[in-house]
Amino acid sequence: MGRIDDALTRGRKALVTYLCCGDPDEAESVDLAVACAEAGADVLELGMPFSDPTADGPAIARASQRALGRGGGLDATLRIAREVRKRCAAPIVLFGYYNPLFVRGEQEAVAMAADAGVDAFLVVDLPIEESIGLRTAAAARDMGVVPLVAPTTRPERVAKIAETAARFPVPFVYYVSMTGVTGGAGAAAVLGEAGAQAGRVRQATGRPTVVGFGIDSAEGARAAAERSDGVVVGSAIVRRIEEGPSREARIAAVQKLVRDLRGAI
């Protein structure tokens, strides 16, 4: 987990970028991830495509379907992670839903991820009370599990995260800026308040806290990052990949967005 700790203690706000692995294909996913890092991303979230996403909006859901249609899944995502690690030192978070990890088995999934160069997991539908097995297996390989906090999260749940962070590696906390799914544009005022809430979560948990959901512009990123430790951007990147007419156009569009976001925060 040292790579994530290093990335979040550089004295600047962290920029976390998300890609749906396998969209448009495995080779280009590797190139796009490396391009994000070269353009200024501090942490790479590599998304496992999943057939029934509950937290992802239309853009990422479409990307998942395209990736699954080309044979995407846990194995393909880990192949991509392995190739990214060969070319890039940026920390990698394996992002997705619990079912593929459960089916594979937590111990085996953790071992495979560690061998591929992954630094942490973010499993959006795994409650903290049910995560001890995965956290224990991950900790044995010096990997962490990222918890999520939403505007509706009660203080006692945040306290539970703080207790967990005292027992297991928690690289950072992901603060969800709004209820609903990814992909909606967040107003600067809403994202600014989310950043303030994230700052309070950081104080309560002792862990860096970044803001995700609704960040699709430099203005939104600046507002969310002002009082948090950084931002996560996913759907805006996925849309540029979806809209790009060629590999070169897709990489250029993603790099421009990441540079704009990096400059804003």
- Out of 45, 83, 193, 229, the active site residue is 45
What DSSP string runs through 133-183? HHHHHHHHTT-EE--EE-TT--HHHHHHHHHHHHHS----EEEE-SSS-TT
Residue type (1 letter), 121: F
CA angle 210, 213, 216 (to 5 degrees): 100
45 is catalytic: yes
- CA 173 to the chain's CA centroid: 11
Give the residue among 163, 171, 147 at the shortest CA–CA distance from 1: 171
| Measured distance CA(183)–CA(232) in Å, rounded | 12
Note if the bond before 245 is cis, omega within 30 degrees: no
Contact 117, 81 (CB under 8 A): yes
Give the residue among 159, 156, 153 at the shortest CA–CA distance from 175: 153
Extract the tokens encoding 56.
């992802």
- Out of 23, 56, 119, 193, the active site residue is 56
| Measured distance CA(171)–CA(83) in Å, rounded | 23
156 is catalytic: no
CA angle 67, 30, 185 (to 5 degrees): 65
Mind telling me the catalytic residues?
A: 45, 56
